[in-house]
């Protein structure tokens, strides 16, 4: 036992590592937004902003990093690199700092200033790509860099890495099943890398084959729901199976903005735009179930809080 751990033991201090705080996020309920639903239709969300890096992406980043360490792909002298819209990058930077890995990230230049500031605070090196190219542009840029210098990098490739969806198979799906006491009937999640939806959905289907798995994505190729992809017009992640979801619920940027303000002002939940979009999709499913007089326990995820988006103008617009 190290001297520090011996002192903790002597003093009765039960300390935790940074990584041990990832996951086991609570389920939250609602008071006003769901008030018109009948009692046999319930909506819950996983408060993923309670992860130490502030988002659901802590789960995937930790899985990707530890798997690469175990397999020998991420070792001393290698630079961890990837494309990101922000949250996975923050998770890489946070866990990389804790585990002693250098991190270089490619992200669109229109990422929120809060995200860029957080990444730089963690010491990540940033390569900003043209805003009009979106996340796909960042993906192409990081691929070019890795191809030019393969010996320099561990390319985490969150869009193709199975450790992404496996993180949710091992944790998120298990948590939802136990937190709902096996009563979950519908799982709703937005699509970005698709890791959350694919991994959680697979686990819930293993528990019960009749759980409804419903994906959501922007209703148009040009949108402002950061972290989400319009799959018909975007570069599809290799881990994404377009036939896995039984249906998709499109969400407009305007509906997501409106829901973000409602969640803050009616429920006290200050969440990000993708979280608000997920709530729009979950409420669509809930209202449909209510119209059919169908019992439903609907679970979605709030990927992060609003603190990285407060510079967005919509917060102060009517």
pLDDT digits (tens, 9 = 90+) for 181-212: 999 999 999 999 999 999 999 999 999 999 99
**Class of domain 57-160 (CATH, top level):** alpha beta
Q: Which residues lie closer than 8 Å to 68 by C-beta, 6 or more apart?
A: 74, 154, 156, 163
Q: What is the pLDDT of residue 317?
A: 85
State what percent of residues in the chain have pLDDT above 90.
Answer: 90
Task: Tell me the three state secondary structure of residue 215.
Answer: strand
Catalytic residues: 57, 274
pLDDT value at residue 85: 86
What integer is the mean pLDDT of 224-250? 95
Q: Are 54 and 307 in contact (CB under 8 A)?
A: yes
26-66 per-position pLDDT tens digit: 999 999 999 999 999 999 999 999 999 999 999 999 999 99
Average pLDDT over residues 89-117: 95
Average pLDDT over residues 233-254: 96
Strand partners, 304: 55
Assess whether the region 14-54+171-316 and the region 57-160 belong to the same CATH fold.
yes
Fold type of domain 14-54+171-316: Rossmann fold (3.40.50)
Instruction: Kindly list the domain boundaries of the chain, sorted by start residue.
Output: 14-54+171-316, 57-160
Decide if pLDDT at 236 tops 80: yes
- Cα 239 to Cα 223: distance, rounded to the nearest angstrom: 23
Confidence of residue 112 (pLDDT cuts 50, 70, 90): confident
pLDDT in tens, 119-175: 999 999 999 999 999 889 999 999 999 999 999 999 999 999 999 999 999 999 999
């Amino acid at each position: 036992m190290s001297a520090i751990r011996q002192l903790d033991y002597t003093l009765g201090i039960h300390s935790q590592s940074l990584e041990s705080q990832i996951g086991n996020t609570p389920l939250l309920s609602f008071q006003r937004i769901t008030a018109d639903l009948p009692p046999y239709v319930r909506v819950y969300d996983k408060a993923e902003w309670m992860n130490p890096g502030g988002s659901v992406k802590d789960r995937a980043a930790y899985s990707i990093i530890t798997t690469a360490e175990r397999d020998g792909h991420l070792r001393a002298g290698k630079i961890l690199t990837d494309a990101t819209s922000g949250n996975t990058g923050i998770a890489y930077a946070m866990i990389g700092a804790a585990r002693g890995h250098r991190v270089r990230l490619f992200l669109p230049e229109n990422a929120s200033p809060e995200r860029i500031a957080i990444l730089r605070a963690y010491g990540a090196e940033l390569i900003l790509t043209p805003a009009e190219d979106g996340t796909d542009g960042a993906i192409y840029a990081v691929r070019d860099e890795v191809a030019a210098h393969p010996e320099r990098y561990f390319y985490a490739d969150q869009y193709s890495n199975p450790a992404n969806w496996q993180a949710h198979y091992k944790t998120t799906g298990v948590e939802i099943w136990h937190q709902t006491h096996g009563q979950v009937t519908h799982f709703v999640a937005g699509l970005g890398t698709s890791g959350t939806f694919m991994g959680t959905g697979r686990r819930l289907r293993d528990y019960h084959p009749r759980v409804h798995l419903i994906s959501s994505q922007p209703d148009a190729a040009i949108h402002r729901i950061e972290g989400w992809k319009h799959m018909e017009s975007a570069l599809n992640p290799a881990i994404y199976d377009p036939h896995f979801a039984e249906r998709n619920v499109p969400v407009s940027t305007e509906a997501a903005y409106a829901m973000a303000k409602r969640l803050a002002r009616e429920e006290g939940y200050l969440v990000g735009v993708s979280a608000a979009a997920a709530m729009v999709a979950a409420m669509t499913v809930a209202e449909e179930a209510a119209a059919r007089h169908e019992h439903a326990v609907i679970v979605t995820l709030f990927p992060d809080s609003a603190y990285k988006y407060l510079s967005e103008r919509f917060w102060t617009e009517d």
